């Protein structure tokens, strides 16, 4: 499917679009996190014991890339499979999704053109559908295609952060609705993802800013950290892709998980910790950063919300 014309930057610079995408994603993540927190059962504070000796650090959190870091393959492609099963589009579209997924699994790296093409296809497919409908379908697709693809090793790392009292966020180019479902199922705090514009709860077929990829991920993490009162130097980030070097470079504890060749080289040059779950090989022992719970503070991304409203 040809790229849609409205995705081509015209009036805004790439940097401005990255900031807009990042801030919009951070706002959506904070809202979804609050909803998850409201639904969570009460915790017996007296029964909880500190897991880490440095419990009490309320300025740290962890940020995990999704595709090939937390799960094998790309979430957007599996989401496409689920939508095809529910007759959202024709067989020729499924062939494209399948080919892109096969390429991703063989190459083990993200191709921006492939990811953009998949994003365009997904936007075209969901246009006119209700957000609530896609969220419900996302729950089913998680059970059908995604649950068995979660890397146990990365899942354990995320759980260790949670056990230490830290908030843990997914950061992905996948739609924020899919990312939120995965975060909920894994018991994580929430998710930063690409924000598709919706009016009255119905998708318009347009994005807010651009896909949350590369520099946009870093802007999302920066915006969320500011809103949550975090100190990035005390936070950790995990990714497999050199495209996420901007995000990894933001934090004091960057980790390369199942790294592609460029990220592996970059990480080794800077003495970042590495781990590869694809072969069981440990490039370096991963030690989790000291951490404890994050207290939410006032602030946020009012500018992104205002821009979103003006776009309507």
Active site residues: 65, 67
- Indicate the SS3 state at residue 77: helix
Beta strands in the chain (DSSP E): 61-65, 167-175, 190-194, 196-199, 202-207, 236-239, 253-257, 273-275
Q: Are 176 and 28 in contact (CB under 8 A)?
A: yes
Q: Please list, residue by residue across 121-147, b when 16 or more beta carbons sit within 10 angstroms of its beta carbon and e when fewer do.
A: bbbebbeebebeebeebbeebbeebbe
SS3 25: helix
Residue 62 neighbours by CB distance under 10 Å: 27
DSSP-assigned beta bridge partners for residue 130? 202
Listed residue (293, 247, 250, 284) closest to 264, CA to CA: 284
């Amino acid at each position: 499917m040809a790229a849609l014309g409205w995705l081509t930057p015209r009036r805004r610079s790439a940097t401005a679009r990255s900031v807009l995408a990042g801030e919009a994603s951070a706002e959506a993540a904070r809202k979804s996190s609050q909803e998850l927190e409201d639904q969570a059962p009460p915790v017996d504070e007296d029964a909880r014991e500190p897991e880490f000796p440095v419990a009490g650090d309320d300025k740290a959190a962890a940020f995990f890339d999704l595709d090939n870091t937390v799960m094998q393959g790309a979430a957007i492609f599996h989401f496409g499979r689920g939508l095809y099963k529910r007759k959202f589009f024709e067989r020729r579209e499924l062939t494209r999704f399948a080919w892109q997924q096969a390429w991703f699994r063989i190459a083990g790296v993200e191709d921006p053109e492939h990811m953009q093409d998949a994003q365009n296809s997904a936007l075209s497919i969901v246009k006119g559908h209700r957000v609530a409908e896609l969220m419900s379908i996302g729950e089913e697709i998680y059970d059908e295609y995604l649950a068995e693809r979660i890397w146990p090793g990365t899942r354990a790392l995320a759980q260790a952060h949670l056990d230490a009292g830290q908030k843990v966020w997914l950061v992905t180019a996948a739609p924020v609705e899919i990312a939120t479902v995965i975060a909920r199922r894994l018991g994580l705090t929430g998710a930063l993802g690409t924000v598709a514009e919706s009016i009255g709860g119905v998708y318009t077929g347009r994005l807010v800013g651009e896909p949350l990829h590369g520099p946009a991920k870093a802007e999302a993490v920066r915006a969320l950290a500011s809103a949550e009162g975090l100190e990035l130097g005390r936070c950790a980030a995990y990714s497999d892709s050199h495209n996420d070097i901007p995000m990894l470079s933001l934090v004091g504890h960057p980790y390369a998980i199942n790294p592609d060749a460029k990220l592996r080289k970059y990480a080794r040059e800077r003495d970042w910790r590495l781990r590869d779950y694809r072969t069981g090989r440990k490039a370096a022992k991963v030690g989790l950063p000291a951490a404890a719970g994050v207290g939410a503070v006032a602030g946020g991304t009012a500018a992104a919300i205002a821009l979103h409203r003006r776009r309507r």
